[in-house]
Structure 1
């Protein structure tokens, strides 16, 4: 076989691979169930009232990053990172529980969610860490000498792990992971999401191949879809810009990193993981064996009878989390929280 023939075969092979990647990226989508179908009872909306006003800090690219502030009189300042389809308002009842113990709370809308940036997208993978550094600098300026706790719920918990094990981990004094998403291959992951969130697997595979080749042109395409009506669990008027999809680069950034075990090992500040024992999204009893094999010093707490959503909506769930975040403050009054659905 001549060199020319080999070159033709190689060219044909490259073209076939390129066509397959193009097909995966263009057509590799799916539709989630709509609100009101099976599993929708788990995300029924119950609107919070008495939300603090939206404030903002200017990010390094000039974008206004929205947050809500809950003032307390203690030494703890907590940043609460919402879930993948949430916004700062979904953390309201947990924020109130922490404030009842004397802690200050910042509940930001992560870029791509709520009133921060373009709904469902960011400019580049890693922009969320830049935003977090900008927000943290402002919080440190406002609260010099205070203990800064970064806590995240669900996908936000996975993101907090990413931060804790990364270059931005030094910005915080403690970390709390609340029912954290540790990746779809983690032993804690149940096999389905009730259909209200659907990843575009073929597109994600195609875009990840291009990313490894250094091609980032198409990373703004949607990679995950959410069921209509399942996006925030808060009144639409209280949150601007409810995304029905997240782009590849946003979903890649707002998740745990590829090396979850390494992020646990690299975490240099105290960390606690807290999960409801009745979590229907993750296997609650698998967190402790997984994490304490890697880091025996990381406490893993199960809250009896609490579901995934209860950890940010039910007084027992929010009270348990608040006690971890602000352990030395006064106890949470019974009935401080009211039901809220969020993810």
Structure 2
């Protein structure tokens, strides 16, 4: 056999072998590259044991477009207020509407109609840690606004990863459903200038699995999107009530888009950021410069003596949040 005829066959074998190795590496990343366990983070877990959760309202539900009943809590505005501004609250990662109770009660006392949502994959809204597809949570918020209409104006408020989700919604085609957006120490991305390593010890990411799933999703393969890619630093007491991990679908739905700068630039409604000066999960002092670099001048209120969870639990932060919701 001539040497010239062997070359194409050898090249074919090399290419096949390289593809086989690539597929094997990709399969290994997806199968074994999940998130590592993480030790409980006291600054997130412990404050809830001291908070006053008396008077949490009975959960209500609305039906999302896929037929799933999703849970929410209603806090009527104090006093005879007609067409009061409604505040829709989005909790942080792993949490549920119940965790926003202290803040929700303060907002209702200030004259707001308040709806605190159990976002899909949390609390009593579907299987915990799961979403059926990327983008489903945005559909759910739109479905809530249609199913539970409100005559007055509405503000969407989110804490931490929920704040990142609020930014995602504020830059979406559905942003006109709210006229104001308030981000409480928002998660932008793990590689944003505001991020600390592992979100300050709160989360651990299975980066090999995340990247592997991203690659096959680009090819339209979503079969393994139920696999976990994030673990959260919950203690044993919190685990049964909260959400210990996120699937690929949920992790890519609950938070900003990967291009969070694009979300910032696309947002046309009023934005306001509130964060604690003592935030231990994110670099709160960098929020203003990140938004400014994206071409958006956004008011940023840094509350002295308040850490990450204090934004929703510490009365010292509530005046700043109330002010941001309506001005």
TM-score by length of 2: 0.91
**Residue 29, structure 1, aligned to residue 38, structure 2:** no
Q: 1:80 aligns with which of 73, 85, 89?
A: 89
CA contact (8 A) 1:196 1:230 kept: no
Structure with bigger gyration radius: 2
Structure 2 vs 1, CA of residues 291 and 178 (structure 1 numbering), >3 Å: closer, same or farther? same
Q: Residue 224 of structure 1 corresponds to which residue in structure 2?
A: 230
**Partners in 2 of 1:296 and 1:126 — Cα distance?**
24
CA contact (8 A) 1:30 1:199 kept: yes
CA contact (8 A) 1:125 1:252 kept: yes
SS of corresponding position for 1:6: helix
Q: Residue 115 of structure 1 corresponds to which residue in structure 2?
A: 124
CA contact (8 A) 2:38 2:231 kept: no
Q: Could you give the per-residue CA deviations for residues 84-138 of structure 1, whole angstroms, max 9, x where no partner exists?
A: 1110011111111111110011001000000001111011111111111100112
**Partners in 2 of 1:268 and 1:147 — Cα distance?**
16
Q: Residue 213 of structure 1 corresponds to which residue in structure 2?
A: 219
Count, aligned residues: 315
1:228 CA drift (Å): 4.2
Q: Could you give the per-residue CA deviations for residues 31-76 of structure 1, whole angstroms, max 9, x where no partner exists?
A: 33343xxx42442132512101100000111100100000013621
Q: Residue 312 of structure 1 corresponds to which residue in structure 2?
A: 312
Q: Residue 332 of structure 1 corresponds to which residue in structure 2?
A: none
CA contact (8 A) 1:156 1:255 kept: yes
Structure 1 residue ranges without an equivalent (≥5):
328-343
1:171 CA drift (Å): 1.4
Q: Residue 281 of structure 1 corresponds to which residue in structure 2?
A: 281
**Residue 263, structure 1, aligned to residue 269, structure 2:** no
**Partners in 2 of 1:151 and 1:271 — Cα distance?**
10
Q: Residue 186 of structure 2 corresponds to which residue in structure 1?
A: 180
Cα RMSD after superposing both structures: 1.8
TM-score by length of 1: 0.87
SS of corresponding position for 1:225: strand
Structure 2 vs 1, CA of residues 297 and 137 (structure 1 numbering), >3 Å: closer, same or farther? same
Is 295-304 or 99-108 further displaced after alignment?
295-304
CA contact (8 A) 2:63 2:147 kept: no
**Partners in 2 of 1:314 and 1:219 — Cα distance?**
37
**Residue 138, structure 1, aligned to residue 140, structure 2:** no
Structure 2 residue ranges without an equivalent (≥5):
1-5
Q: Residue 113 of structure 2 corresponds to which residue in structure 1?
A: 104
Q: 1:198 aligns with which of 200, 204, 209?
A: 204
Is 40-49 or 277-286 further displaced after alignment?
40-49
Q: Residue 165 of structure 2 corresponds to which residue in structure 1?
A: 159
